[in-house]
Amino acid sequence: MAEREPLGAVLDAIARAGAAPADAAEVTRGAVDASGRVAWIEGDVARLRVAAKGRILVDRKLNRQDEQNWGYEGCHVEYLRWWGERVVAVSSEERVTGLWSIGLTGESAFRFLSRPWVVEGDLAMWVSPDYPGLVVGAALPSLDPRLPLPIRGASTWLRLACDRGHLVVLAQAGGGWAVCERLALPSAGQRSWPPAGDPFLEQVERRLFPDREPTPSERLLVEATASPFCDDAGASPSWAPPPLWLPVYWHRHLVANGRHAEADRHLAVLDAVAAPLGEDDPERGWEPGSGFEEGAVRLAARYVRRQARVQAAACREGSLPPRWSCVLFYPAPGSSVPGSRVDPATLRPELRRVFEVLAPTPPPPFP
């Protein structure tokens, strides 16, 4: 997180800009650019105001929840910085953390964040709320997606920090926190997006299965787990879950219908894909000097292997990892149709085939 500018300096900059806060005592954070433009936050429901040369350029609230609801606990800002002609902010409410990029005309871009999050240079990163063992990112100030980084484990109880071009991931250990991963961050040439969609997934398949075509179970695994490396997961509505756990649903379906030999073969595929990468083998992040496409394929393939192990364990245990859930087959808001949170036409071929078999059943929730 960036250092907070002293409030005294912010109030002086507001005065020099010829503006005035509604109540100086309510100013909680501010940022001043080299030309003297000043952005500041005031109030319990974070209000962003931007001023320059006697004019208020932006005046808007940053809350995403209804402040009139009983029990609303307010909205505050944890990060505020100028990026050229835009102001970038991170807002925090009880259940919503958001990344904002706001122009001087008031137009804005927004992404939902999850905790923990960290900013390093022009890269914001946070632990994915949808994909276990993945740190996702966005460019500043555009908020365009950046390639995710796999990490060990599926825990959501992590901390993030940056140190000399590396992302440091800490996990709870023995009543404290210990470093579990130190990941090289992408160089300027590696900070790109996106890889080439389906052709990219074909490259991932070739890396995992270099001498043959993948089986349906292998292709299902790749389509389910590698998609955040070529699709902008944050572009979907918050109620539209990813099809990440479809390989587990499919195993449960095979067992429930007495197709035990097929279920065993499906589980054997997950074990075989996971085997070359040990559970305790550390992740290193980006390889210095690698090209973007080459590095993206390598990272995606490692994530597929890690998720194969996670999903195999979920198949055997009959439940998802602790603190994870899935509402893939729940009705969409305002609907009573199971599975209507997902448009099958948006799914890749093997995902769609499995989804359309399962949705009419509909699969019961995981315990």
- DSSP codes, 219-235: HHHHHHHSGGGTS-GGG
For residues 19 and 54, the answer to whether their CB atoms sit within 8 Å is yes
pLDDT at 1: 44
Q: Residues in the chain with pLDDT < 70?
A: 1-3, 21-25, 154-156, 197, 234-239
d(CA 153, CA 156): 9
Q: SS3 of 253, please?
A: helix
Amino acid at 218: E
Q: Which stretch of DSSP H or E encloses residue 102? A: strand 97-103
Q: Helices in the chain by DSSP H: which ranges?
A: 7-16, 197-208, 216-225, 246-256, 260-274, 292-317, 349-358
d(CA 366, CA 222): 22
Exposure string for 114-132, b = 16+ CB within 10 A, e = fewer: eebbbbbeebbbbbbbbbb
Give the number of C-alpha atoms closer than 13 A to the C-alpha of residue 81, restricted to the C-beta side: 16
d(CA 126, CA 158): 10
**Angle, vertex CA 352, rays to CA 349 and CA 353, nearest 5:** 85
Exposure string for 206-241, b = 16+ CB within 10 A, e = fewer: eebeeeeebeebbbbbbbbbbbbbbbebbebeeebb
Closest CA to 294 of 219, 155, 153, 187: 187
Amino acid at 178: A
In terms of residues, how long is the chain? 367
Is pTM, for the whole model, over 0.85? yes
pLDDT at 363: 92
d(CA 329, CA 324): 15
